[in-house]
């Protein structure tokens, strides 16, 4: 327990040892738990907040409660108890984030996997070798202002684990590349898949269809968005049954009472809870990773419960499976790895913090009813023509790109009353415009990459403390000029499609700087515990194993050295399956040994 000044802290109570302790129980924790329990290891998951389940927490009788879930943040992290400090650059003083804004981390069992949209993507083949690929094609000067880094693995190595996640989720979609053969109607730019999607693509309503037709007429390559909102009933390999999406329009920021959105609760957790070698302990906040006197072996974790009682949980393997920001924070608090220093460029923990560069185009039609209340988290027609290096960047002055989607996720009556530019923000004219266009609007999402620069990083705040007296996590971030140029270019391309769709009003919304943490953009925080080839440029190896503490594994989007133009969940889940496979087939045969030579 964190003691008051001048009062000695109580000695933590030591508990029976387990094979594996998981810190956090969302997507990555559930994947590791399922895989390692099935391999016969004893697994304990520590979750700092409460348990959450579909029939109790977001049943169909109250799931579409916009006040409760969207505006009162019922499923999100409470900044009263857990927050961070923020600044745009090192010349500013970071201040605490007092209200959730730009991103919405989850809390409780299932984490952000509960309230996500269900958008399931794979990286492009070139995304795994981003630095070397771009330097080979455009020269080293193209990457000089960025701290890009290659991943230590290829698309071919991770593809079987992508397929495992698709099968767990029952992902709905249309393959574009099946074992090297291009498939009509799918994404022609994707890497080769070993298997088709488990379920067909979602049907699309009028708005996405307009996008599809306009994009195709311009010589682009539209395809259905890969979705964790299922197009038909599905039973996954663990026997978990999912239902068909009802297009209620309440995916993002909400749970799914219909069992039609893939989440830890609908795909993994009920199965895991039947295992006799698994235990879930909620309302248990991990304070620190404990190590042996030489610092080279994790002995377990210290956590505190809601009564203020502190416990030491010994384990043979420690796995950080919380949200990316919390994993980085715990590594820094535990003194594992060298913290990144932007002045010298030395250190790795906290380095290459990235986000997602979001922009878009708003469309309003006087002559068409789109009925956007019929929606789901991934109901969209998408083009990948301007993502990654799918187009020639010569002379453009930037790297990276974005997918562009004609997407309708719903028309929630408080959040989504949209009016054309120039309409007053309140009053009679606003009401009339809101009524006229409520069923006649949609947006094009420009989902851009986020590339690292030296001044963007995570560290411990020297001033502000959390409720346990520990330094808060400090975020230093602003959009690199590269990403703002990319967003402008891709938003211009989206505007061309919007005009082709025949909208009465077309309003581009390019991303501009500086980065503003107060307005929602996306919950895609990445980097800080990078995966890499060696200990000098990364925190973990290709199996997510710490270079410094070999029985410590770190999962999640913190492993990314940069963020491609895709939602991060599909790749972080695939990496988690890869990590679990390495632990159960290789690491347990030589406990304490590194899986990659340092």
Task: Tell me 483's DSSP state.
Answer: H
Contact (Cβ atoms closer than 8 angstroms) between residue 113 and residue 322? no
Does 2 score more than 70 pLDDT?
A: no
| Active-site residue, from 74, 133, 225, 524 | 524
Q: How far, in Å, CA of 455 to CA of 293, rounded?
A: 34
Q: Could you tell me the residue ranges of all domains in the chain?
A: 13-589
Q: What is the pLDDT of residue 406?
A: 98
pLDDT mean over 318-338: 98
Residues in CB range of 197: below 8 A, 6 or more apart: 166, 171, 172, 173, 174, 175, 226
Q: Check if the beta carbon of residue 583 is closer than 8 Å to that of residue 593.
A: no
CA–CA gap between residue 407 and residue 361 (Å, rounded): 11
**Euclidean distance between CA atoms 299 and 552, whole angstroms:** 10
Residue 248, pLDDT score? 95
Q: Is the peptide bond before 514 cis (omega within 30 degrees of 0)?
A: yes
24-49: average pLDDT: 98
Predicted pLDDT of residue 501:
98
How high is the pLDDT of residue 61? 87
User: What's the half-sphere exposure (Cβ side, CA atoms, 13 Å) at 47?
Assistant: 24
* Span 400-428, average pLDDT: 96
Confidence band for 10, pLDDT divided at 50, 70 and 90: low
State residue 521's pLDDT score: 97
Q: Is residue 377 predicted with pLDDT exceeding 70?
A: yes
DSSP state letters, 124-145: -GGGGGHHHHHHHHH-GGGGTT
- 107-166 pLDDT, tens digit per residue, is 999 999 999 999 999 999 999 999 999 999 999 999 999 999 999 999 999 999 999 999
Which whole-number Å values give the CA distances from 137 to 131, 334, 402, 511, 529, in the listed order? Answer: 10, 41, 19, 27, 28
pLDDT attached to residue 7: 33
- Looking at the chain, the whole-number percentage of residues with pLDDT higher than 70 is 98
Q: How many residues does the chain have?
A: 598
- Helix (H) or strand (E) segment spanning residue 576: helix 569-585
Question: What integer is the mean pLDDT of 193-197?
Answer: 98
Predicted local distance difference test score (pLDDT) of residue 185: 97
Q: What is the pLDDT of residue 11?
A: 83
pLDDT at 3 over 80: no
Three-class SS of 180-249:
CEECCCCCCCCCCECCCCCECCCCCCHHHHHHHHHHHHCCCCCEECCECECCCCEECCCCCEECCCCCEC
Going by CATH, does the domain composed of 13-589 fall within 3.50.50.60? yes
Instruction: Look at residue 9 and tell me whether its pLDDT is greater than 90.
Output: no
Q: Is 524 a catalytic residue?
A: yes
pLDDT of residue 4: 37
Confidence (pLDDT) at 598:
80
- Three-state secondary-structure class, residue 259: coil
pLDDT band at 5 (very low <50, low <70, confident <90, very high): very low
pLDDT score recorded for residue 101: 96
Secondary structure (3-state) at 287 = strand
> Residue 490 pLDDT more than 70?
yes
For residue 63, the model assigns a pLDDT of 86
Q: pTM for this structure?
A: 0.97
Given this model, what pLDDT does residue 443 score? 97
User: Could you report the per-residue pLDDT of 273-284, keeping only the tens digit for each?
Assistant: 999 999 999 999
Task: List C-alpha distances in Å: 486 to 277, 393, 453, 457, 482.
Answer: 49, 10, 15, 21, 6
């Amino acid at each position: 327990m964190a003691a008051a000044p001048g009062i000695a802290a109580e000695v933590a109570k030591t508990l029976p040892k387990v094979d594996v302790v998981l810190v956090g129980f969302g997507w990555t924790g559930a994947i590791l738990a399922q895989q390692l329990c099935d391999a016969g290891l004893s697994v304990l998951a520590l979750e700092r907040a409460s348990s959450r389940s579909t029939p109790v927490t977001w049943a169909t009788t109250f799931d579409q409660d916009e006040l409760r879930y969207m505006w009162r943040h019922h499923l999100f992290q409470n900044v009263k108890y857990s927050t961070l400090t923020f600044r745009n650059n090192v010349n500013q003083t970071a201040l605490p984030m007092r209200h959730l804004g730009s991103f919405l981390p989850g809390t409780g069992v299932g984490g952000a996997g509960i309230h996500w949209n269900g958008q399931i993507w794979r990286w492009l083949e070139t995304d795994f070798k981003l630095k070397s690929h771009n330097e080979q094609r455009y020269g080293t000067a193209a990457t000089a202002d960025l701290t890009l880094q290659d991943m230590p693995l290829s698309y071919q190595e991770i593809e079987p684990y992508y397929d495992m996640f698709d099968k767990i989720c029952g992902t709905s979609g249309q393959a574009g590349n099946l074992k090297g053969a291009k498939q009509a109607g799918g994404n022609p730019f994707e890497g080769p898949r070993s298997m088709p999607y488990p379920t067909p693509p979602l049907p699309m309503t009028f708005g996405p269809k307009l996008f599809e037709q306009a994009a195709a007429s311009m010589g682009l390559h539209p395809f259905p968005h890969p979705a964790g909102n299922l197009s038909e009933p599905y039973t996954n390999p663990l026997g978990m049954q999912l239902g068909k999406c009802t297009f209620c329009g309440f995916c993002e920021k909400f749970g799914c009472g219909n069992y039609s959105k893939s989440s830890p609760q609908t795909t993994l957790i009920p199965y895991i809870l039947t295992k006799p070698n698994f235990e879930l302990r909620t309302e248990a906040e991990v304070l620190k990773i404990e190590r042996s006197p030489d610092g080279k072996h994790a002995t377990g974790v210290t956590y505190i419960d809601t009564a203020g009682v502190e416990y030491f949980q010994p384990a043979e393997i420690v796995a950080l499976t919380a949200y990316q920001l919390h994993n980085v924070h715990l590594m820094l608090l535990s003194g594992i790895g060298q913290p990144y220093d932007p002045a010298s460029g030395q250190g790795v923990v906290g380095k290459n913090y990235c986000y997602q560069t979001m922009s878009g185009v708003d469309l309003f039609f006087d002559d068409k009813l789109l009925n956007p209340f019929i929606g789901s988290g991934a109901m969209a027609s998408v083009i990948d023509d301007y993502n990654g290096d799918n187009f020639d960047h010569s002379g453009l002055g930037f790297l990276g790109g974005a997918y562009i989607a004609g997407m309708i996720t719903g028309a929630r009556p408080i959040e989504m009353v949209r009016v054309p530019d120039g309409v007053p923000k309140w009053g009679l004219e606003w009401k009339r415009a809101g009524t006229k266009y409520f069923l006649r609007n949609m947006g094009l999402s420009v989902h851009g990459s986020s590339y690292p620069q030296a001044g963007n990083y995570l560290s411990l705040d020297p001033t502000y403390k959390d409720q346990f007296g520990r330094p808060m996590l400090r975020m230093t971030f602003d959009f690199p000029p590269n990403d703002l140029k990319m967003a402008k270019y891709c938003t211009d391309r989206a505007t061309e499609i919007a005009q082709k769709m025949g909208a009465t009003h077309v309003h581009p919304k390019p991303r501009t700087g500086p980065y503003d943490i107060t307005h929602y953009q996306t919950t895609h925080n990445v980097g800080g515990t990078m995966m890499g080839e060696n200990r000098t440029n990364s925190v973990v190896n290709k199996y997510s194993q710490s270079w410094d503490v070999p029985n410590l594994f770190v999962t999640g989007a913190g492993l990314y050295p940069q963020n491609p133009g895709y939602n991060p969940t599909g790749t972080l889940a695939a990496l988690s399956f890869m990590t679990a496979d390495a632990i159960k087939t290789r690491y347990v045969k030589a406990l304490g040994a590194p899986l990659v030579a340092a």
